[in-house]
Structure 1
């Protein structure tokens, strides 16, 4: 049926009630039906947290590491250094050992926490390394950090790193013949030694 309105002819169309309901249902299905286009879900991946500390005393040197996985699982490691090391060298060994552990576990995003002002400052680029051994340690640390997608290193207060410090002290003063519940591994030579450098370069090429 048609009628005139404002000098123009408008056509009114009437649809049966069932036809209107059918169209509403069709529109609803079309709106919520899966489309061919893909949907990308962005999942936030939490980083691995690594707390490291090195200790050096008259009895020897050791490294303590506490790794917290993205699932909040805590892993503890102690490494006894089988060579004489200064406190700064032990701190670098702690950083390198921590990076090796999480690299072996497949971590891609890492946050490292250390109470060593010198190590953190040199890695962050705030201080230059002048000592030849510190230069080698810094070079190796940055090389290993390149194996990860992201690595952030931060300095924390010693009181926030007490547990890791205890593991490092344990490893530095342990006697081989005394059984321990915590497994303490041996680092036989400095990480910047020739053999260790060759090993690290080989590992870096695999990733």
Structure 2
């Protein structure tokens, strides 16, 4: 149902082309993710520059790194549910991005399991890129800390706040 709400929103606000024969360049969707000890935030930007914002309150104890992984997984789930095949993910977490890119080895059992789940989800896409950005560049996701502060833009948007009752991985 969550994915359907986002899909309906996108369908309503996406520009329509009347010329079926025109060739459309496929642009990747952008997903900005951010996590902290009890919250995970994502901002999805469609190729048409629509912003879909989602905040998750974690109702379980999570380290900052676990919350970062939860945010990454939430972002991948949302775009998977929407049928997206090309995605760019941006995070300010050095650890998570470096583990996903293979530059850092995951040693902690929790991080190993989170990494395994992320890699599994990434296989759903034709192309997926994950990049580390400076914390200041991740203001899309940071702005969800205070939902009211993000209403100023004139871009159509959907903001959801959701409770995550348990971790995405087992054995936590």
TM-score band (shorter)? 0.7 to 0.9
Q: Of residues 35, 53, 65 in structure 1, which corresponds to 2:34?
A: 53
Q: Of residues 71, 74, 81 in structure 1, which corresponds to 2:48?
A: 71
Q: Tell me what 1:110 maps to.
A: 87
Q: Any conservation in 1 of the 2:42–2:53 contact (CA below 8 Å)? A: yes
CA distance in 2, matches of 1:49, 1:154: 11
CA distance in 1, matches of 2:146, 2:60: 16
Q: How does 1:1-207 map to 2 (within 5 A)?
A: 43-56=24-37, 61-167=38-144, 169=145, 182-193=159-170
Q: Structure 1: which 5+ residue stretches go unaligned?
A: 1-39, 172-180, 195-207
CA distance in 2, matches of 1:93, 1:170: 19
- C-alpha spacing 1:152/1:184, structure 2 compared with 1 (3 Å): same
Q: Any conservation in 1 of the 2:40–2:58 contact (CA below 8 Å)? A: yes
Superposition CA RMSD, Å:
2.0
- State the aligned residue count: 141
- C-alpha spacing 1:73/1:104, structure 2 compared with 1 (3 Å): same
CA distance in 2, matches of 1:146, 1:119: 17
CA distance in 2, matches of 1:138, 1:125: 10
Q: Any conservation in 2 of the 1:114–1:156 contact (CA below 8 Å)? A: yes
Q: Structure 2: which 5+ residue stretches go unaligned?
A: 1-20, 148-157
Structure with higher Rg: it is: 1
Displacement, 1:65?
0.5
Q: Secondary structure of 2:139's match?
A: helix
Displacement, 1:155?
0.4
Tell me the TM-score normalised to structure 1 length. 0.64
Displacement, 1:182?
4.7
Displacement, 1:162?
2.1
Higher RCO (C-alpha under 8 Å, 6+ residues apart): 2
Displacement, 1:163?
3.2
Displacement, 1:170?
5.1
Tell me the TM-score normalised to structure 2 length. 0.77
Q: Any conservation in 2 of the 1:55–1:165 contact (CA below 8 Å)? A: no
Q: Any conservation in 2 of the 1:120–1:155 contact (CA below 8 Å)? A: yes
Q: Secondary structure of 1:183's match?
A: strand
Q: Secondary structure of 1:127's match?
A: coil
